């Protein structure tokens, strides 16, 4: 399964979000991550995010796709490589 994850977190929590997401996905923009992940591992990621999220201030969106076949990705301006190695 391919996912795109975007978050908007309060300043105090941004580094925690970044650290957690980087364990599971590839960092492609400031607060945007993408990658191949299983349903089970996605659950782990979400559970970790739940330990730091402030439900009244932060927002996380996860777009799940069965396959990567159906997408094309355009980029304007700075482009971080989307195929960099996962950082564990």
What residues are designated binding site for Mg(2+)? Answer: 8
Based on its alpha-carbon atoms, the radius of gyration of the chain, rounded to whole angstroms, reads 13
Closest CA to 3 of 67, 51, 82: 67
Query: Which residue number, 66 or 85, has a Cβ lying nearer to a second copy?
Result: 66
Q: Any contact of residue 18 with a second copy (CB under 8 A)?
A: no
Measured distance between the N- and C-terminal CA atoms of the chain, rounded to whole angstroms: 20
Residue 26, beta-bridge partner list = 34
Site for a second copy in 22-61 (CB under 8 A): 28-32, 46, 49-50, 53-61
Q: Any contact of residue 72 with a second copy (CB under 8 A)?
A: yes
> Minimum distance from CB of 1 to a second copy (Å)?
10
């Amino acid at each position: 399964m391919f996912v795109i994850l975007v978050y908007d977190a309060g300043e105090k929590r941004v580094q925690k979000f970044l650290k957690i997401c980087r364990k599971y996905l590839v960092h492609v923009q400031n607060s945007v991550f993408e990658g191949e992940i299983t349903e089970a591992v996605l659950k782990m990621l979400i559970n970790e995010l739940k330990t730091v999220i402030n439900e009244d201030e932060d927002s996380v969106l996860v777009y799940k796709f069965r396959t990567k076949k159906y997408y094309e990705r355009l980029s304007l301006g700075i482009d971080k490589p989307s195929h960099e190695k996962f950082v564990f």
